[in-house]
Amino acid sequence: MDVENAENQQTLTVDSNIENAEIVENKESAEQASESVKTSDEIEKAGNNEFEYLERNEFTSEIYKIEVKNLGYFGIGEFKKLLKTTLKLDITKIKSPTRKEFAFVCFRNQEDQQRALETLNGYKWKGKVLKAMAAKASADPLHKRRGEELSGETKPKRQRTAKEATCPLAELTYEKQLEQKTEEMSALLKKYTQELRRLNPAAKPHLDKFQFNGVLASPAVDGYRNKNEFSIAKNADGEIIVGFRLGSYSDGSVEVADVQQLPHLPAQAKWAALSFQQLVRQSKFQPFNPVGNLGHFRQLMVRTSSATGELMLVAGIYSSNLSESEQVELQQELKNFYDQPEQNETHKCSSLYYQDVKHREAGQMINPVTHLAGSTHITDTIQGLQFRISPLAFFQINTAGANVLYQQAIDLAAPTPDTTMLDICCGTGTIALAFAKHCKQVFGVEIVADAIKDAEYNAEANKITNCKFFAGNADDYIKSMVREALYGQEPGKPVDLIAVVDPPRAGLHNRSIAAIRSASAIKRLVYVSCNPNSAKRNFIELSRPESKHWKGEPFYPKSAVAVDMFPHTTHTELVILFEREAKTSTDAVAQAKEKTKEADVAAETEEQVAKTEETATTTTTTTT
């Protein structure tokens, strides 16, 4: 999956660190539309203290917060289950520092907070008596940091340049970049295999044969990024800039820097940033400012196609302080600007969208988009296949590198005409369709419904008929996809079932890993990770010994290869092949005996039930 959001604050999403809270998510709550458009001076003056945000009534979870102590060792998952399922408390979030015996729990209102205090204080859980008390709101990290700098408590940090923030390896030759990434991947895999040896001694013979085949180069080193999310704010000189963030909100930085000199951006993306910058500078609407949640122009997503030259722009607008008529006016301004002939001399915007970027409501997964002008999609090519890409769908960030990446996944999986492949987190179906010509059938699942529509369209457009896609959580569909694969298997033929996972940066949820492990028909698994450090948790979960929680035989790593999908950055894509150990004849006999024993017990039980029913019938007859 794409690591763009990790590349040193390239997106506008504000990084806070209030007791591990997501302050910005809450600070984005809706303001009254009557506030309308504020001037630049008003925006600059907004917010003068660390707790000013509470006065706007936007951060209710910090107002209605409690602290729960004496928890002992606990997992966030089990604590959440206690609060929501067992005690039926309506919580908004849980925040807990690592390796601590306490946690903060947030609520939407005072009634829910008070009920939680009464329920949790003195409650016995896991042999501990819990203590609950009201907690103070946390300080706004940006104001806190700035206050510390003004008072001399901390020294201001040197602001990084745009190249340092986004392309830290750009000063090295590409050969040196590959050498550095190979060393880092080798060290990470060594750490993983050492931990696995300790957790599962049975893995030792497999790990002795495990091979890492290095880092493969990207065919495109410069201008490779086909998707970029630019922030809209001011630079150190007070000029409005469409570019990349230089630091995080919690570090006291909201500055944005120009992107014209960055090597990994294509010319189309640089033109898009400049043209949108011109639009914002001449507009009466203001750039968004997280200090006070004021302003409107928040971000610009740019998607480009190396195959067709198409250019998609998605303008992210903070609309909480805009009336409906002002939103219509702003949308019309966007359309009029890109309709001007002089704006299309160098490059042309072929698809224009408006995105409402503000606080998401409960259950809302994405910020909605509205099509304004041009085509609704763009098209790109991977592995000789054409793919339609919608504004919010996932697509590999480096198209040329994706050809290498997918070929490595295919080579490691080694599918045959009898293979069924499960593509977990399939996006627009790029991996699934690349595998399709090598397999009997392919099933894919993805949580973004629009991406599934694209996947189905892409299959039809490429005349691929052996793929089936499902929209929903991977956790819910893995077992059903396995059942469908087994149901369609010819009697007497061995099952060849492969799973390929390409999850988001954080990796797969442990429920998905548990579902994969419990599906004994899956013998091989290819894990594609854009963040191997985060995915290491999944690697361990796949390979742990079988237990009450991790049912099913473990998967062991066989071989791995990395692909440099992100030249000039520190990120690398890693592909690992996992296989289950084939059961020995002794194992098979033992399993057969166990099944026979279970069958005997079941038959004996049925016989006892039959006798009981017969006795009951006789008794009834006698009584009558």
Query: Which tokens go with 564?
Result: 């440099």
- Residue 48's CB is within 10 A of a number of other CB atoms, namely 9
β-pair type (65-69, 131-134) = antiparallel
Cβ–Cβ under 8 Å, residues 282 and 240: no
The structure tokens listed for 100 are 């601590």
Cα separation, 58 vs 13, whole angstroms:
17
How far is it, in rounded angstroms, from Cα 146 to Cα 56?
20
- DSSP codes of every residue in 22-71: -HHHHHTPPPPGGG-PPPHHHHHH---STTHHHHTT--HHHHSEEEEE--
Dist CA 505 CA 532 (whole Å): 8
Which residue numbers belong to the known binding site? 396, 446, 502
- H-helix segments, 422-564: 430-436, 449-461, 474-487, 510-518, 532-543
Query: From CA 295, how far away is CA 318, in angstroms rounded?
Result: 7
In terms of residues, how long is the chain? 624
Cβ burial of 171 (10 Å; 0-12, 13-18, 19+) is exposed
Q: Which two tokens stand for residue 247?
A: 């630091």
Known catalytic membership, residue 439: no
Please, what is the Cα angle at 488 between 484 and 491, to 5 degrees?
130
Of the candidates 425, 439, 467, 530, the residue annotated as catalytic is: 530
Q: Which residues contact 265 (CB under 8 A, 6 or more apart)?
A: 223, 225, 228, 259
| CB proximity list for 327: less than 8 A, separation 6 or greater | 317, 319
Give me the phi and psi of 602, to 5 degrees please: -65, -40
| Cα gap 382→396, rounded to integer Å | 9
Backbone angles phi, psi at 410, to 5 degrees: -65, -45
C-alpha to C-alpha distance for 353 and 143, rounded to whole angstroms: 34
Q: Give the whole-angstrom CA distance, residue 107 versus residue 66.
A: 8
CB count, 10 Å around CB of 613?
Answer: 10
Residue 34, number of CB atoms within 10 A of its CB: 7
> Within its chain, how far is the Cα of 214 from the centroid?
26
Binding residues for S-adenosyl-L-methionine: 396, 446, 502
In angstroms, the CA 459 to CA 440 distance is: 15
Asked whether 458 and 377 are in contact (CB, 8 A), the reply is no
- Cβ atoms 349, 276 nearer than 8 A: no
**Terminal-to-terminal C-alpha distance of the chain:** 74
- The two structure tokens encoding residue 222: 């410069």
User: Which residues are known catalytic residues?
Assistant: 530
